[in-house]
């Protein structure tokens, strides 16, 4: 085999691997990328049960309740409309998680129609805000999220 040939084979092998990686990435991203939903979108066009998504909005005042085990909480998240979506979370609440504040819940839809959150992102401090909640007060939360998620639900 000539040296030129060898170089060519190497380049082709490398290209195949990189393109393969790109295709695998594109395919996996389509299936595994984690989309952002508003409560009303979640109600209208729910994602498949068990698919990892994020639900963002405002914690409805008066809806937060802790179950008897002391570590499971239920609350309602509201968006632009009056629709509210129920969320259940088993874990330690973030420090700045309060009723009436914005929240992004990571998790998936359960079979009982309740959104089961595995992680809650609340506003942490002045410098560290979840991207989706950046620059908004509690009332603008849903508005802002709606403005930036156009075309998400088709």
Partner 1 sequence: MIAEIGLAALWLAAALAVLQMVSGALALRSAEGEANPLAIYARPAAVMQALLAGLAFAMLVWAFAVTDLSVKLVAANSHSMKPMIYKLTGTWGNHEGSMLLWVGVLALSGGLIALFERRLPERTMGATLAVQGFVALGFYAFLLLSSNPFERLPVPAIEGSGLNPLLQDIGLAFHPPTLYAGYVGLSVAFSLAMGALLTREVNPTFARVMRPWVLGAWVLLTFGITAGSYWAYYELGWGGWWFWDPVENASLMPWLAATALLHSVAVLAARDALRTWTIMLGVLAFSMSMLGTFLVRSGVLTSVHAFAVDPERGAFILVLLGLYIGGAFTIFALRAGAVAEGKRFSFSSREGALVFNNVMLSAILAIVLLGTLYPLVTEAFDVRVSVGPPYFNPASAMFAIPMFLVMAVGPLLRWKEDSPRRIRFEVLLLAVILIGVIGLVSFFGQFALLPLLGLGLAAALGVAAFLPLRGRKLTRVPVATWGMVLAHFGIAVSLFGMASEGAFTQERLAAVAPGGSDQVGDYTFTLQSVNPVAGPNWTAIEARIAVSRDGGTPVILTPQARNFWSPAQSTSESALLTRWDGQLYAVIGNQAADGRWQIRMWWKPFVTFIWYGGLLIALGGVLSIIGRVRVDMKRRKAVSLGDERRADLEALGTAPVPAE
Site residues (CB under 8 A) for partner 1?
A: 1, 3-4, 6-7, 10, 13-14, 17-18, 20-22, 24-26, 28-29, 32-36, 52, 54, 66, 69-71, 90-93, 95-96, 124-132, 134, 148-152
CA distance 129 to 65: 25
Minimum CB separation of residue 144 from partner 1 in Å reads 11
Minimum CB separation of residue 113 from partner 1 in Å reads 23
CA distance 54 to 35: 6
Q: Are 89 and 73 in contact (CB under 8 A)?
A: yes
CA distance 32 to 9: 34
For the chain, the straight-line distance linking the first and the last C-alpha, in angstroms and rounded, comes to 54
In this complex, which beta carbon is closest to partner 1, that of residue 82 or of residue 153?
Answer: 153
In this complex, which beta carbon is closest to partner 1, that of residue 7 or of residue 100?
Answer: 7
CA distance 45 to 90: 25
Minimum CB separation of residue 34 from partner 1 in Å reads 5
Q: Give the tokens for residue 135.
A: 């620059």
In this complex, which beta carbon is closest to partner 1, that of residue 37 or of residue 85?
Answer: 37
In this complex, which beta carbon is closest to partner 1, that of residue 35 or of residue 113?
Answer: 35
């Amino acid at each position: 085999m000539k040296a030129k040939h060898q170089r060519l084979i190497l380049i082709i092998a490398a290209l195949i691997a990189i393109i393969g990686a790109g295709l695998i990435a594109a395919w996996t991203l389509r299936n595994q990328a984690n989309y952002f939903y508003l409560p009303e979108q979640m109600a209208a066009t729910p994602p498949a049960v068990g698919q990892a998504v994020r639900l963002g909005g405002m914690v409805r005042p008066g809806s937060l309740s802790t179950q008897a085990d002391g570590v499971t909480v239920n609350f309602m998240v509201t968006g632009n409309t009056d629709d509210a979506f129920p969320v259940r979370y088993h874990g330690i609440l973030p420090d700045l998680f309060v009723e009436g504040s914005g929240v992004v819940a990571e998790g998936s839809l359960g079979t009982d129609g309740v959104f089961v959150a595995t992680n809650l992102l609340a506003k942490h401090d002045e410098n560290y805000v979840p991207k989706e909640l950046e620059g908004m007060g509690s009332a603008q939360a849903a508005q802002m999220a709606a403005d930036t998620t156009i075309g998400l639900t088709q």
